[in-house]
Amino acid sequence: MKIALIIENSQAAKSEIVHNALKTVVEPLGHTVHHYGMYTPEDKASLTYVMNGLLAGILLNSKAADFVVTGCGTGMGAMLACNSMPGVFCGLVIDPTDAFLFGQINDGNAISMPYAKGFGWAAELNLQDCYRKLFEGERGLGYPKERAAIMAKNRGILKDVKAAATKDFLSALKAVDQDLLKAAISGEKFQEYFFANSQDEAISAYLKGVLAA
């Protein structure tokens, strides 16, 4: 699985802590982490939580990533921004129980975490525990198990409702503020990671045009 990590500007100082916690858990499981920034508070490309949502939409809809890990101070803003995107189903994960239940019941493709609220002593251990509950084993099995079938049915219904309620992703990219979009994809390693992994030629071509403008 290709897991994308996105950190916004207010929490950029914790980027290394989050990145290391994620890699420690998922790399031994055979997954790959691509860190799309921010890396430090001094990065030239500054990401807001709104940009996090745009990036999540780009990465998931192009299949450049299979899963997105993001967040902000409370986790709320980044979650809302992610869920505004077609094809993105993002849960708020604060503790390992949240991670387990989101993985088993909702089986979404992104999580948002609070990197300021409640981020105290041994916070990196909570991060690791959350990632273990999310990425170890098979997701979408249901909890409790006897409700697995109805949970899977509801996931499908939600996916259909979201597809009906939102534009196709390329149309959404063309409709958003283009300066905001260009800022969101101007990170230090975006082009290196994205264009090597994107499986959608139309999205890739459009973003190349945005970057060249």
pLDDT tens profile 22-60: 999 999 999 999 999 999 999 999 999 999 999 999 999
Short-list 12, 43, 19, CA closest to 33: 19
Please, which pLDDT band fits residue 118 given cuts at 50, 70 and 90?
A: very high
Tokens of 148: 């697995």
71-89: pLDDT as tens digits? 999 999 999 999 999 999 9
Domain boundaries, the chain: 2-212
The mean pLDDT of 103-124, rounded to a whole number, is 97
The mean pLDDT of 92-104, rounded to a whole number, is 98
Tokens of 97: 């129980």
Position 31 scores a pLDDT of: 98
By the 8 A CB rule, do 191 and 64 touch? no
Q: Look up the CATH superfamily of 2-212.
A: Sugar-phosphate isomerase, RpiB/LacA/LacB (3.40.1400.10)
